[in-house]
Structure 1
Amino acid sequence: RDIDRRDKRLKSVSVRASKTMGKGGKLHKGFCSKTYQKAARINNQIGHIVSKRIVQIADQFNSEAIVFENLKGWKPKGGRKRSNLRQRFHGWLKAKIRDFTLEKWAELGGKVIEVVAAYTSKLAFDGSGKVKRDSKNYALATFSSGKRFNADLNGAYNIGARGVLKLTHRNGSEGRSSKSFGRPPRSWASLCDLWATARPRLA
């Protein structure tokens, strides 16, 4: 796979960097630049493939908009097996997918909406509160009821819900005052907030 090829190249950079720094040396300007360029080209390819598929699905279902999280200033958090190099390229890929999707979707006259990223994955889509990630399988989330659900799908439901609210709100704002209403802002909405309302078609 493309991601495996990219990570293999980044691993080789990491190994060479460790050997150089381990000897008390410094990385010279342009260190492993060719390998970086190859990895960047693979990221470009992945970005185009993924964005093309996103647009195809949106077009297939006659969607009015495609929704993304606003990840400006976002930095990936590394786990025990994550490398800084992989984190860096992961962050770049997220931006590429968004940008490429925006370009392709705009050509078809579609809208791209960005929503607040906070708590999209931490809140259960059914309104039951915060979820807990499985320590052994990070792809699974456990709801307060004990139900286990795909964590990425749960987050996607909430992202879509926030997109609907932003698209339909009169003044174009996602938010509502938590002080006035005594509840979280609309920017932290979950899918359950839309179940009783009509909504536009989103991808």
Structure 2
Amino acid sequence: MKIMVSREVRIVDAFKAFIDTIAIYQNAVSFLIDVVNEHYVNVCGLPSQKAMTFIERLVHSTSTREAFYPSFDIRFHKLPSYLRRSAIFDALSAITLYRKNLAEWEVSDKLRKKPFLKRKRNVMPAFYRDNMFILDEENGVYRAKLKLFSDGDWKWHVFNLSQADVRNIQKDFSLEEVKCPVLKKHGHRFTLSFVFETEAELPKKGNKEYSICAVDIGINNAAVCSIMKEDGTVTARRFIAFTGEEDRFNRILNERKKAHSLSKCRTHRLNRFLKNHNENLARLTSSAIAEFASSEGAYVIVMENLNGKGKVKCSKKERLHLWRKRDIISRVEALAHRKGMRFSTVWAAGTSKYAFDGSGQVKRDKDNHSQCTFSNGKRYNTDLSASYNIGARFFIRETLKACPETEASEAKAKVPGLSARATCTLSTYISLLAVRASA
């Protein structure tokens, strides 16, 4: 299985050298968006390379061919060919997504707002190797040579790179494989994002016993992980929490709430801080989950499927937590494949609502939702119980999938909890194993 891995290297100097190049590139993309939209019928069915060639012939003149839009060469004089092609690919992607959203809106009930074409886009240029980018190494120190626009012409500029970032990349990849870095902006600093291709072999289950890592992403805890065997035995547990990061996140959230209550001022700065803290928490949590699952030898990481939630009408805090959960799930999937583990999701409804021992619905504490009371009076951690149910639902699905249809129907008749996915718990899975053993 081929996996694409992205790594960023910070540029440590010359923060203002990219401003003119970025402005020219974004203006070129805006120009090309109108061209692609006008000729979309001609390029919609073509492969990406042929579509790029078709658009390039419309805007770029040669000694033997006059462009259909000569104003492009006049406006973007001496624009490097590879930068022009990168802009065409960005314009093609933008129009393809816009046309797809527009087609879906046309066949829908049209209650949502009609999609609109955004021409001003915050896209960053890609620097193709040898033509726009050269990586130099001297005495173990790496520098990047980039072709940028300055003083009315396109010239080569040398930039110092963060050697710590370079060393981190060299632990896993060879810098000789670098092809086309993309410029990215973080605040007032710039980074080069490199993409590497790596091979990962996912394990095959076979006939031997295997264990899974069931993960519940909570609010009080960043995540709760349980290692579960095929017979329902839980062999290891891990509570993952980043208290300091959560405190900083909640402090900024309260500052934003207070700012809105005092005046109708805009909170772009606080919103940016919240977004960055949310991404950092997602990155830390996903790494901790993947490390724990790998150390315990898990065959697959199982999480809740939260992709179908849609647009949530709730408080800002709840929306941020939902976005973080989705980000964690996508990051864990990528890390699991890189570490040679499989990834799966299960039905999310009811995992925390029902007790793992089959006693029914739980009653959460008002002041601490991570603790709950079962119907039989037992006190337990809500997220830990949910992780048991997540693992059980995975095994229930795999067990019923491997059974003949008649045997699966008989099992559902003898175990009523199997009829609805939202009520499946660890107790349901234990009952299913007992029914199969007695058959």
Structure 1 residue aligned with 2:250: 7
Shift of 1:136: 4.5
Shift of 1:168: 4.0
Q: Secondary structure at the match of 2:346?
A: strand
- For 1:130-149, what aligned pairs fall within 5 Å after superposition? 130-149=361-380
- Asked whether the 8 Å contact 1:129–1:144 carries over to 2, the reply is yes
Structure 2, unaligned runs of 5 or more: 1-243, 435-439
Structure 1 residue aligned with 2:291: 56
CA distance in 2, matches of 1:75, 1:146: 36
Q: Structure 2 counterpart of 1:51, which letter?
A: S
Note if 1:183 corresponds to 2:398. Answer: no
Note if 1:36 corresponds to 2:279. Answer: no
Shift of 1:97: 1.0
Structure 1 residue aligned with 2:381: 150
Q: Structure 1 counterpart of 2:274, which letter?
A: A
CA distance in 1, matches of 2:313, 2:384: 20
- Asked whether the 8 Å contact 2:256–2:270 carries over to 1, the reply is yes
Q: Which has the larger radius of gyration?
A: 2
Shift of 1:77: 9.1
- For 1:34-183, what aligned pairs fall within 5 Å after superposition? 34-71=269-306, 72-73=308-309, 84-170=315-401, 181=413, 183=416
Shift of 1:161: 0.7
Shift of 1:17: 1.4
Which structure shows the bigger proportion of residues in strand conformation?
Answer: 2
Distance 1:74-1:152 versus aligned 2 partners, 3 A rule: farther
Query: TM-score if structure 2 supplies the norm length?
Result: 0.37
Deviation per CA, 1:100-136, whole angstroms, max 9, x where unpaired? 1111111123222111112111211111222222334
Note if 1:16 corresponds to 2:259. Answer: yes
Shift of 1:194: 2.9
- Asked whether the 8 Å contact 1:139–1:150 carries over to 2, the reply is yes
Q: Secondary structure at the match of 2:260?
A: helix
Q: Percent identity?
A: 32
Q: Secondary structure at the match of 1:149?
A: strand
Q: Structure 1 counterpart of 2:425, which letter?
A: S
Shift of 1:139: 2.4
Q: Secondary structure at the match of 1:157?
A: helix
Distance 1:37-1:137 versus aligned 2 partners, 3 A rule: closer
- Asked whether the 8 Å contact 1:14–1:85 carries over to 2, the reply is no
Distance 1:53-1:167 versus aligned 2 partners, 3 A rule: farther
Distance 1:109-1:153 versus aligned 2 partners, 3 A rule: same
Q: Structure 2 counterpart of 1:133, which letter?
A: R
Tell which deviates more after alignment, 43-52 or 185-194.
185-194
Query: TM-score if structure 1 supplies the norm length?
Result: 0.76
Q: Which structure is higher in RCO with an 8 Å CA cutoff and minimum separation 6?
A: 1
Aligned length, in residue pairs = 180
Q: Secondary structure at the match of 1:124?
A: coil
RMSD of Structure 2 on Structure 1 (CA): 2.8
- Asked whether the 8 Å contact 2:300–2:342 carries over to 1, the reply is yes
Q: Structure 2 counterpart of 1:14, which letter?
A: K
Structure 1, unaligned runs of 5 or more: 22-26, 79-83, 199-203
Shift of 1:190: 0.8
- Asked whether the 8 Å contact 1:125–1:158 carries over to 2, the reply is yes
Q: Structure 2 counterpart of 1:37, which letter?
A: R
